[in-house]
Amino acid sequence: MYILKPFSFSKRFPETEVIGSAFAGNQDQVIPLSFGFPAPESLPADKMTAATEAAMLSQGRQALAYSGGTGPKHIINWIKERSRLREIEATENEIIVTSGSSQAIDLITRTLTDPGDEIWVEAPTFFGALKTFRLAETTLFSFPIDENGLRVDLVEQELNERVKNNLPLPKLMYVIPNYQNPGGVNLSVDRRKRLAELAYKYNFFIIEDDAYVELSFDETYLPAIYSFGPERVVYLSTFSKIIAPGLRLGWAIGLSAIIEKMRILKIDGLTSVYVQEVTKNLLEQMDMDEQISYLNTIYLSRKNAMVSAIKQYFGDEVSFHEPNGGFFLWLTFPPQIDTSEFLDTAMLAGVSYIAGKHFFLQNEGYNHMRLSFTFCKEDIIHEAIKRLANTYYEYVNSKQMIEEVN
């Protein structure tokens, strides 16, 4: 046998930091405010057996073959109908069902960019999308958000500058228009319109990631960016937040020429047709409006519990935009704070969160923190915020002591 030589991985792997903590203790004792988990009691475990039985009775073995039975077509129809509520009109060949919307982000990225191409993003934004864009070896550039979402005026200014200086324009702009992850804000209608116009004028595509649209606590819905520019927007959404993430079912809507290329790139075949058959029956057996209204009732109550606990334990030490929907609260601490510095001690104290820096491109956002309010019940949230505040003030005190010593 020959001696092993060193080998190298593809150059596509970025130097990514693992998101989380070095905490090696019992994870079961940690109250998870970190990841975007739905409320466990909302997952329709009691309906899965009946939905499976109905799928097998109506479709038989077709449901287990490569292309399934009638389920995948029904899922597409459901997506078409539901999209009308967002003022989106789409045909069957403008829709692709994906393994969660994460896969849709990956497919649209690799369909429309080559390494080195620019993708513009919000700052802060979803770290999973940043990871995908980096693995596609694209160049990233970010723009701040405010209470009305992405600062489209700054995007326009930069586009003008690029043209003036003969510099490359972006291929894609990634936006989360509703209950932005992590910011919790909604993009205003004026900005949606203007962004769509810019996409036509400067010939880039918008990835409109609309994972949270259904989770509106006051039942107000803005028209999708897609409705203002269907030829330059690819719209994404998912069943993860309204039925169950473990199914891995999401979708993308866009020009048929683009969806066709995404199907080619979707080398894993059709998204589990078995899951689609079962989900079709689940959709028939569940009252989706009731399910969504139920989700919003519990999520609003949990958000309120988190907001009042933060006011009680942090007072004026943190500021935040109070979101009217979605999963997350985005906290801003005083500028000298680095939230990644007390994550390990917070985990030891039994509470987790995600440090702000992970939502930015580089060396930014240290004084922010994302908390998810959907997974835990109100009293647990209260306890978690109390523990978090204790950890935080210990950190602040020790930081001050160190500074005084130095």
Q: Return the amino acid letter for 170.
A: P
Figure out which of the listed residues 37, 141, 221, 393 binds a copy of itself, where binding follows CB under 8 A: 37
CB of 357 to a copy of itself, least distance (A): 19
CB neighbourhood size of 295 (10 A): 19
Taking CB under 8 A as the rule, does residue 66 contact a copy of itself? yes
Chain residues 158-187 in contact with a copy of itself, contact rule CB under 8 A? none
SS3 54: helix
Figure out which of the listed residues 231, 284, 322, 341 binds a copy of itself, where binding follows CB under 8 A: 231
Figure out which of the listed residues 25, 60, 144, 168 binds a copy of itself, where binding follows CB under 8 A: 60
Figure out which of the listed residues 4, 24, 402, 405 binds a copy of itself, where binding follows CB under 8 A: 4
DSSP per-residue letters across 144-168: EEETTEE-HHHHHHHHHHHHHTTPP
Taking CB under 8 A as the rule, does residue 286 contact a copy of itself? no
Chain residues 90-129 in contact with a copy of itself, contact rule CB under 8 A? 98-100, 102-103, 105-106, 110-114, 128
Separation CA 278–CA 112 (nearest Å): 32
Taking CB under 8 A as the rule, does residue 35 contact a copy of itself? yes
Is the Cβ of residue 199 or residue 318 nearer to a copy of itself in the bound state? 199
Is the Cβ of residue 131 or residue 162 nearer to a copy of itself in the bound state? 131
CB of 398 to a copy of itself, least distance (A): 34
Taking CB under 8 A as the rule, does residue 38 contact a copy of itself? yes
CB of 98 to a copy of itself, least distance (A): 7
Q: Which of the stretches 48-56, 118-126, 217-225, 331-339 binds a copy of itself when contact is defined by CB under 8 A? A: 48-56
Q: Return the amino acid letter for 194.
A: R
From residue 168, alpha-carbon distances to 150, 159, 160, 171 in Å are 21, 9, 11, 9
Structure tokens at 175: 């936006």
Residue 238 half-sphere exposure, CB side, CA atoms within 13 Å?
23
Figure out which of the listed residues 146, 157, 200, 398 binds a copy of itself, where binding follows CB under 8 A: 200
Is the Cβ of residue 16 or residue 398 nearer to a copy of itself in the bound state? 16
- Name the nearest CA neighbour of 362 among 124, 118, 109: 124
Taking CB under 8 A as the rule, does residue 205 contact a copy of itself? yes
- Name the nearest CA neighbour of 284 among 81, 101, 40: 81
Burial (0-12, 13-18, 19+ Cβ within 10 Å), 11: exposed
CB of 138 to a copy of itself, least distance (A): 11
- Name the nearest CA neighbour of 378 among 308, 319, 320, 313: 308
- The sign of the dihedral angle between the CA atoms of 45, 50, 51, 55 is positive
Figure out which of the listed residues 25, 45, 287, 379 binds a copy of itself, where binding follows CB under 8 A: 45
Is the Cβ of residue 17 or residue 219 nearer to a copy of itself in the bound state? 17
Which letter does DSSP use for residue 179 in this model? S
- Name the nearest CA neighbour of 225 among 250, 182, 254, 258: 254
Is the Cβ of residue 71 or residue 183 nearer to a copy of itself in the bound state? 71
Is the Cβ of residue 127 or residue 342 nearer to a copy of itself in the bound state? 127
Separation CA 88–CA 86 (nearest Å): 5
Residue 142 half-sphere exposure, CB side, CA atoms within 13 Å?
18
DSSP per-residue letters across 114-155: -TT-EEEEEES--HHHHHHHHHTT-EEEEEEEETTEE-HHHH
Site string for a copy of itself, 310-349 (x = CB under 8 A): ----------------------------------------
Figure out which of the listed residues 91, 157, 160, 203 binds a copy of itself, where binding follows CB under 8 A: 203
Chain residues 127-156 in contact with a copy of itself, contact rule CB under 8 A? 128, 131-132, 135
Taking CB under 8 A as the rule, does residue 83 contact a copy of itself? no
Is the Cβ of residue 117 or residue 122 nearer to a copy of itself in the bound state? 117
CB of 9 to a copy of itself, least distance (A): 6
Figure out which of the listed residues 125, 142, 272, 374 binds a copy of itself, where binding follows CB under 8 A: 272
DSSP H helices in 245-368: 256-265, 273-285, 288-314, 343-348
Is the Cβ of residue 274 or residue 393 nearer to a copy of itself in the bound state? 274
**Could you tell me if 252 and 98 are in contact, meaning their C-beta atoms sit under 8 angstroms apart?**
yes
